[in-house]
Amino acid sequence: MERDMLPDLLKEVQDKFETSYGKSEKVRNAFAELKKKKATYATANDFALEVGDILADALSSSVRSDKLPDGKMYYNIAQRLLTDTLGRNFELVSGYAGQVQEDLNRSANIGLQVQVPEINQDRIDGLVNRLSSEDEFSKVAWMLQEPIVNFTQSIVDDSIKANADFHAKAGLTPKVVRKETGNCCKWCRAVVGVYNYPDVPKDVWRRHNRCRCTVDYHPGNGKKQNAHSKRWSDPLKNAKIEERKRIGLLVQAGAKNYVRDDSNDMLLPKDFIKAEKHAYLTYDRIKNSNQDLEKRKIYSNIGKFKEMNGFSKDDVDKAFNHVFNNVHELNFGKGLFPPDIDMAQSWERLISGKNIQPHDLILLKHERLEHDYMYVTSKLDYDTAHKKVDELFNYSEAVNEFKKKG
């Protein structure tokens, strides 16, 4: 009966890992930031990369062909080896990320429990299957290097996703930020951006080998937000507004119909902040303008496009009002739709008549039909109506196509 070589191999890997982990300056710095309550998910990402590198070095220097039966990585060996080592990395990184999230919640006055993601067993199984697929370990030895780092880094992304999802279900709408680092590839550049959860493309959570882009997240300022209108609510202020409604006083006065939340600005790129501020100003300007005149301008400007034949002045009015005037019953109360960067630009072009794009016209059709689905023909809730309209007039998809060409 052959002696089981795995216990000795595991001990060698563990000893090397613990030695390097204990000496790592990056690990010490990460915990120092945590102790000072200054750690963020960016710190957690750096910690994960270091932990991944340490394990990859320990594995690649310990696991060699001459230590394996017949020079092959058999399935049972790979499974036990990676389940143990990657499981330990998961505990370290998810534990660190959990402490970061706890501090973020506390600083934002959010009394929600920290969510710990499940370990991605499918990824581990994929690594095991690939390692055991070759007759010679030397052909797949590289799998114990960068893929180990990639797996470990993704634990931070999974932690962000789990907590963002939990906060969204509690009525908050945090921003998820994907940032590039250095000279990132074309694929990564395409998913760099700021996203309101849950409207986050799947690729934001994905990574290719040697990807060092970061995903960051902050829960906001602790105020509950309408998940669809993206308008922050202050319970005391809301109570005062309801009282004003009760006695028949004007609720909205002056030009400030939209109030931008700036609590996540520490995470956001400066160009995004500038663009979003412009969007809020644009929405306020349009809402407080001579709306009848603006609607007539839009109707006149779209008349030269054959795809808008049959789109009447009444259609323009309904699309416009749906966005800027109608108060909608949404998941967490009533409110206006939020200022959106791309939509603000579309409305500006539609009103001015300058450089109108195909997706601007799609926007009008989308809002017009969504109004009917919500209030006339079907009485659908916003989520259902929006998805149904997207089947015919998908504004977001059209915007993405426009940006790819640019």
pLDDT at residue 361 in the model:
97
Question: Which pLDDT belongs to residue 198?
Answer: 79
**Mind giving me the DSSP string for 77-135?**
HHHHHHHHHHHHHHHHHHHHHHHHHHHHHHHTT--PPPP-PPP-HHHHHHHHHHHTSSS
- State residue 217's pLDDT score: 79
pLDDT < 50 stretches in the chain: 1, 222, 224-255
Q: Is the pTM of this model over 0.85?
A: no
Angle at the Cα of 43 from the Cα atoms of 117 and 271, rounded to 5 degrees: 100
In DSSP terms, which residues pair with 334 in a beta bridge? 329
What residue ranges do the domains of the chain occupy? 6-160, 224-405
The token pair at 307 is 């795809």
- DSSP assigned state of 338: P
Q: What is the pLDDT of residue 86?
A: 98
pLDDT computed for residue 205 by the predictor: 77
pLDDT for the residue numbered 179: 80
What integer pLDDT is reported at residue 70 of this predicted model?
92
Q: What is the pLDDT of residue 350?
A: 97
Phi, psi of 358 (to 5 degrees): -55, -40
CB 185 within 8 A of CB 11: no
Task: Look at residue 332 in the predicted model and tell me its pLDDT.
Answer: 52
pLDDT for res 383: 81
pLDDT at 83: 97
Distances (CA, A) of 380 to 177, 309, 326, 348, 370: 31, 27, 15, 29, 9
- What is the reported pLDDT for 3? 64
